[in-house]
Amino acid sequence: MISDSKKSIVILASGEGSVAQALIDAVTKPTGALYEHVKIARVISENPEAGIFRRARAAKVPTELIPFRSGDQRGAWEKELEETIKNINPWLVVSAGFMKILSPAFVNTFRIINTHPSLLPAFPGAHAVRNALAAGVHESGCTLHHVDAGVDTGEIIAERRLAIMPGESEEALHNRIKELEREMIVAGILSLVLVEKGM
């Protein structure tokens, strides 16, 4: 039975959901760091083929598809998404690999956090890992941040760092960063919960 004292979250994801899986495990498993504090009200995706649906259903987490069809009016799709989330009324919306840009009006309606595969403010945008390698930097990592109207410009909650290995491929680096993202998103949400509880 879910305790009413648990904070309700909505997860938005578009793809395989490997980062979201860490969050699902932390919430649904009795040994998870978020088990006593958080419940997942819904996992929402615009992609009917998203692997996150399989992961969520396996954990008995409610899911919802809000499809974005080619030729659709973006405003109508976003309005449907907004109304769905408003009806749920979550404490927090977690963007975990959600590949749609949301309007300033939308992001100002909810408390939204996002993980990004670079040490922001360096390398914002969709190709952060590739851009970091192209720039020849020796260090990268990931950032957990609040979502605002800009592109990866919101207030930073936490970061994790790693050294880039000589000759490392984009795929290999991205996979190592995802491991850090999985740890960071759980720890970051736990820290937000504990601050609100005064702990």
CB neighbours (10 Å) of residue 160?
20
Does the CA dihedral 189-116-150-99 come out positive or negative? negative
The pLDDT tens digits of the residues spanning 81-125 come to 999 999 999 999 999 989 888 899 999 999 999 999 999 999 999
The pLDDT tens digits of the residues spanning 141-174 come to 999 999 999 989 999 999 999 999 999 999 999 9
Are 56 and 25 in contact by the 8 Å Cβ rule? The answer is: no
Catalytic residue set: 116
Q: Which domains does the chain have, with CATH numbers?
A: 7-196 (3.40.50.170)
**Max CA separation in the chain (angstroms):** 51
Rounded CA gap, 43 and 94, in Å?
A: 9
Instruction: Give the per-residue pLDDT at 193.
Output: 95
Are 85 and 66 in contact by the 8 Å Cβ rule? The answer is: no
Instruction: Give the per-residue pLDDT at 174.
Output: 97
Rounded CA gap, 64 and 53, in Å?
A: 8
pTM (2 decimals)? Answer: 0.93
The pLDDT tens digits of the residues spanning 47-89 come to 999 999 999 999 999 999 999 876 667 788 999 999 999 999 9
Q: Which residues pair with residue 95 across a beta bridge?
A: 12, 114
Total H helices, total E strands in the chain = 6, 7
Does the CA dihedral 87-93-98-104 come out positive or negative? positive
Structural tokens at position 75:
């405003």
Instruction: Give the per-residue pLDDT at 71.
Output: 65
